[in-house]
Amino acid sequence: MFVQEVAGWTAKSYLSSLRGVFAGHPTYGDKVRRFSHCITIEYVGERKIDIAPCIVNRMGVTRFEVCNFDSDLFEGSEPEKYTSWLIERNTWTGGHALRKVTRLLKFLRDIKTTFTCPSVLLTTIVGERISWGDSLDTTSFADVPTALKTVVGRLDDWLQANPSKPVVTNPKLSSEVLSDLWDDSHYINFRDKIHTYRTWIDDAYSESDRDESIGKWRRVFGEEFAKSVVVEKAARVSDAAQGLVEAVVSKSYAPQADLVTLFSRYGVRALPLGFDKLPHKQRPRWRHAPSSVFSVSVNATLHSSRNGPVSQQLRSGSGPLPKNSWIRFKACTAAGTAFGYEFDVHWRVTNTDEEASRANCLRGGFDNSNETSARWEQLRYRGVHTVEAFIVRKRDQALVAESAPFYVVIE
């Protein structure tokens, strides 16, 4: 906000006065906060707008200055030149690719909250990854996913080349050190997280299977990504299975049934294509160990109540099993032993079909064991569901083994 000088005012005066205007307003009074260089209106959840007073030609000198409340000093600023610098780089990428990628990275920052980077600093270090030569490149910014992959790759390369916090200045005002907005711990965390997201983005971008690609992009951008497509896919597995069976045995001989009935008759042959990689399943967030340490299998027992006596040993695909009964799943090594203290066992429980979808309980995320190497689950929704065990080494959070899907068929 460009303002003219007010005689006698200090830097604090401008910010205090601006805050007072909004604090006294019935709409904004409970939404305004003051920070070192601006006041912020927080209006819906994480959504907010910063308003910073910029003093024009203070004391008759041609210049722009912002106000630092903490030091009560005026600081030089070049907002118009900075904006022009950014617009030029956005033009070099074509199709506003730089703007779109910057928005995606801010969205990622705000929804995941795994790293901290003030917007002006994030915008600057992203903008610095673009050069005039990009205006001659027809491939690196061909579309939004490609542009995101390109920019995050360049950003990660720069961060990995700088183990310690580098100096980042305003490209149009060298006296303004933007990297001072970080401390060393914030920088190291940002460096680590961007490296992880670069790996996930490259993986999702390169994935040729559509469902698997959607699942991998959801690992990057969260469960709202392609949500309607994902839910429909999971809810309509019976329709897909019916079509598969009709294609194999001919429509006139195929029973008209849901996946539970078809699975009971045909076994895993009835599972529709991609059933084990449905996009609503969360993809593992841990880095994979360089090589598999051991194999893991899932053993299961049926119980009438949690912690009750065993009523049946189960194989994958047993059933159909009665609702409201309980299963105890246990992850074991090939030798049949439990995993030691140095490992965590995480479980991916995935529901499918219409009944679980109507109950908004398709799940697909990761749960901890609720006993050593074991997890109890109650049977609730008709369908064919899966349970998988993931073994994570505690000391380095590496994924060292994962089981095959254990199919749970509920009547």
Q: For 298-355, how does the pLDDT look when each residue is reduced to its tens digit (9 = 90+)?
A: 999 999 999 999 999 999 999 899 999 999 999 998 777 878 889 999 999 999 999 9
pLDDT exceeding 90 applies to what percent of the chain?
A: 80
For residue 364, what pLDDT is reported? 96
Are 35 and 90 in a shared domain?
A: no
Is 254 inside any structural domain? no
Are 44 and 88 in a shared domain?
A: no
Are 86 and 66 in a shared domain?
A: no
Are 187 and 295 in a shared domain?
A: no
Report the chain's mean pLDDT, rounded to a whole number.
92
Could you give the dihedral angle defined by the CA atoms of residues 80, 85, 91 and 93, in that order, rounded to the nearest 10 degrees? Answer: -140
Is 306 inside any structural domain? yes
More confident call, 372 vs 53? 53
State the average pLDDT over residues 236-255: 72
Are 60 and 165 in a shared domain?
A: no
**Omega into 320 within 30° of 0, i.e. cis?**
yes
Are 284 and 401 in a shared domain?
A: yes
Domain region containing 361: 277-410
Q: How far is CA 16 from the centre of its chain?
A: 38
State the average pLDDT over residues 232-261: 78
Question: Other CB atoms closer than 10 Å to residue 409's CB: what's the count?
Answer: 21
Those residues with Cβ within 8 angstroms of residue 328's Cβ, 6 or more apart along the chain or in another chain: 300, 301, 303, 371, 374, 375, 376
Whether residue 6 has pLDDT greater than 90 = yes
For residue 248, what pLDDT is reported? 63
For residue 110, what pLDDT is reported? 87
| Chain segment 374-388, per-residue pLDDT in tens | 999 999 999 999 999
Query: The whole model's pTM is what?
Result: 0.81
Listed residue (113, 104, 115) closest to 147, CA to CA: 104
Listed residue (124, 229, 137) closest to 180, CA to CA: 124
Are 60 and 162 in a shared domain?
A: no
Within 273-400, residue ranges assigned H as helices are 353-358
| Chain segment 159-211, per-residue pLDDT in tens | 999 999 999 999 999 988 999 989 999 999 999 999 999 999 999 999 999 99
Question: Other CB atoms closer than 10 Å to residue 87's CB: what's the count?
Answer: 14
Are 191 and 315 in a shared domain?
A: no
Are 130 and 179 in a shared domain?
A: yes
Nearest-Å Rg of the Cα atoms of the chain is: 28
Contact (CB, 8 A) for 32 and 22: yes
Are 163 and 186 in a shared domain?
A: yes
Are 116 and 7 in a shared domain?
A: no
For residue 253, what pLDDT is reported? 53
State the average pLDDT over residues 228-254: 78
| Cα–Cα distance, 340 to 324 (Å, whole number) | 31
Domain count along the chain: 3
Question: Which phi-psi region, left, alpha or beta, contains residue 190 (left: φ > 0; alpha: ψ -120 to 50)?
Answer: alpha
